[in-house]
Chains A and B, each alone.
Chain A
């Protein structure tokens, strides 16, 4: 079955960096785009970033553009989110989510990784 497992969350100081990983299994991950979506504590969903199936293109929310970078290693079936210059407002659960057949909807989600930005 399709599985997405995030790792790398934790506590980081403002201005710091963190890299999240998302390991995919149960499907041919190299054939699908993948998103990062976040949810601040007690708040709604916010789309963060998208990377095409082959890594050839990326899209970012304005709130993270220039600070976050999404990448993938299809040989390892793994997606990454490099987060730099972190701010308090980046505190959230970060989900990786599989794109549904290039529709830019999310049909499978990981369990999420909590990132807390605090001094």
Chain B
């Protein structure tokens, strides 16, 4: 099983600032990496797939990068609606696995 490790666990950021979230895989997942956003009481929402492709309707301030074992989600200028928990997920191998999440909170 591929283990996904996200860091930091919590990220405190002021509105308008940039947020950088990291995700590391225990072995290469190529670019088969997705990012999700989850707000309290809601289902997750797909943001990014293929490591860097935004899903339909996702604002351009969200960007993804990386390949192999190291990935980054960047939110260029945090808006109030972006404060949430973010999960990475690999789909290169079965079983599909998620990282533990990064909570982006208001500083």
Contact = CB atoms under 8 A, between A and B. Distances in A.
Given A45-B98, A47-B97, A103 B91 contact: yes
B59 interface: no
A85 B36 CA distance: 31
* Secondary structure dominating the interface of A: strand
Contact of B55 (A44, A107, A112): A107
A104 B91 contact: yes
Contact of B98 (A46, A60, A103): A46
B96 interface: yes
Contacts of A109: 43-45
Nearest to B99: A44
Nearest to B42: A111
A105 B43 contact: no
A84 B3 CA distance: 27
Interface of A: 35, 44-47, 50, 59-62, 95, 97, 100, 103-107, 109-112
13 contacts: A44-B99, A45-B38, A45-B98, A45-B101, A47-B95, A47-B98, A61-B95, A62-B95, A97-B43, A100-B55, A103-B91, A105-B91, A106-B89
Given A45-B36, A59-B94, A105-B46, 5 more contacts: A45-B87, A47-B89, A95-B43, A105-B49, A106-B44
